[in-house]
């Protein structure tokens, strides 16, 4: 299967995960983001254990420990970004937070290009592109669409906050308007997500590179990341136990959306790793386009409204993905 299909499956899966992350978030629960992290940790931990048993190829504890240290920059970048993202969902609609977060795809592509140039591996960069004109044009459209969408969302949030400020609300009414209460500070969450996700994704592109990477394969990356996230989820569970004086039950009533979100997250993660292993410079911005899927799903199921500018950005990103698909199809013909 080609990198394009891997990236497309990941894009669709993570877009669905965003919808259920939003549905599984309780704005009144200050530990909602940690509960989501617990469920993602459970799902990834179970998947990693299964991979280790059935596809570990005799991997020893020593091998895991050694490579876990090598993979730490990527896994920490991802885990920090994701927990920050879960926290941001409490304060912002998914249609606002997802495009800002996924500007990381553009930053990752820039970081990887810089890496290839600095390390003198320009030939590796050239190998990324099958049909350079289509690949570059498609990537530029995706990046431009996501960045434009992020700016459109910020302007929309600013207008809504200004309208609330001018509405003459009472102090009690203002307290009920979470976005009004924290205002522009809410955008710190997706911006921090963008920063740490860029670190994690760029590190993945370097680690998985067959020519200059660290010799860690796709299965091993999935195992290492899954176990690391399991430990992070366990840490979140212990923290809530200490703070709340009672254990969080992830299998309790009302937790189904978190479970489904975690399932889509892990399913997409598998295809993400294989896409990044083949063509990270092209795969990173394309996968970041999952914010478009998030946007459309939240429009349908969460009744979040979209403006004309948002729809225009959606079409630009879709056009970019289609160009990459055409290029991949021509290259395989």
Domain range list for the chain: 3-332
Res 181: pLDDT: 46
Cα(185)–Cα(180) distance, rounded to whole angstroms? Answer: 10
Beta strands in 180-329 (DSSP E): none
Distances (CA, A) of 39 to 44, 160, 231, 238, 271: 9, 33, 12, 13, 20
How many C-beta neighbours within 10 Å does residue 5 have?
14
Res 240: pLDDT: 97
226 φ/ψ angles, rounded to the nearest 5 degrees: -65, -45
> Which two tokens mark 68?
């876990």
Residue pLDDT tens, the chain, 333 long:
689 999 999 999 999 999 999 899 987 898 999 999 999 999 999 999 999 999 877 777 788 888 888 888 899 999 999 999 898 887 777 766 777 788 888 889 888 888 888 887 776 666 677 677 888 899 999 989 888 887 887 777 677 667 766 766 665 555 555 544 444 556 788 889 999 999 999 998 888 876 666 668 899 999 999 999 999 999 999 999 999 999 999 999 889 999 999 999 999 999 999 999 888 889 999 999 998 998 889 888 877 777 888 889 989 999 999 999 998 887 665
Res 164: pLDDT: 62
Res 178: pLDDT: 52
215: phi > 0 → left, psi -120 to 50 → alpha, else beta; which? left
Total number of residues shown for the chain: 333
pTM as predicted:
0.88
Cα(68)–Cα(291) distance, rounded to whole angstroms? Answer: 30
Res 318: pLDDT: 92
> Which two tokens mark 284?
């990173």
Res 180: pLDDT: 45
């Amino acid at each position: 299967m080609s990198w394009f299909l891997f990236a497309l499956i990941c894009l669709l899966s993570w877009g669905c995960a965003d919808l259920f992350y939003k549905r599984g978030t309780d704005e009144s629960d200050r530990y909602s983001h940690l509960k989501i992290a617990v469920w993602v940790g459970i799902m990834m931990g179970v998947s990693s254990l299964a991979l280790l048993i059935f596809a570990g190829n005799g991997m020893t504890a020593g091998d895991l420990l050694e490579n876990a240290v090598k993979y730490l920059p990527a896994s920490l970048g991802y885990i920090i970004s994701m927990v920050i993202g879960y926290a941001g969902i409490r304060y912002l609609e998914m249609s606002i937070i997802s495009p800002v977060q996924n500007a990381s795809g553009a930053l990752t592509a820039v970081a990887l290009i810089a890496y290839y140039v600095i390390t003198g591996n320009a030939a590796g960069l050239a190998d990324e592109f099958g049909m350079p004109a289509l690949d570059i044009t498609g990537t530029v459209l995706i990046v431009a669409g996501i960045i434009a969408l992020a700016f459109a969302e910020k302007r929309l949030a600013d207008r809504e906050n200004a309208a609330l400020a001018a509405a003459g609300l009472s102090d009690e009414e203002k307290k009920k308007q979470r976005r009004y209460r924290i205002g522009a500070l809410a955008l710190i969450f997706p911006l921090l997500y963008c920063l740490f996700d860029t670190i994690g994704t760029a590190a993945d592109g370097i680690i998985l590179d067959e020519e200059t990477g660290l010799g860690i394969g796709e299965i091993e990356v999935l195992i290492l990341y899954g176990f690391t996230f399991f430990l992070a989820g366990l840490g979140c569970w212990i923290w809530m136990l200490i703070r709340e004086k009672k254990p969080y039950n992830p299998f309790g009533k009302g937790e189904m959306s978190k479970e489904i979100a975690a399932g889509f997250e892990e399913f997409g993660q598998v295809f993400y790793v294989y896409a990044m292993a083949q063509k990270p410079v092209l795969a990173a911005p394309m996968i970041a386009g999952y914010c478009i899927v998030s946007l459309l799903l939240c429009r349908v199921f969460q009744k979040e409204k979209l403006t004309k500018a948002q729809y225009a950005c959606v079409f630009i990103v879709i056009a970019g993905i289609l160009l990459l698909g055409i290029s991949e199809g021509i290259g395989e013909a």
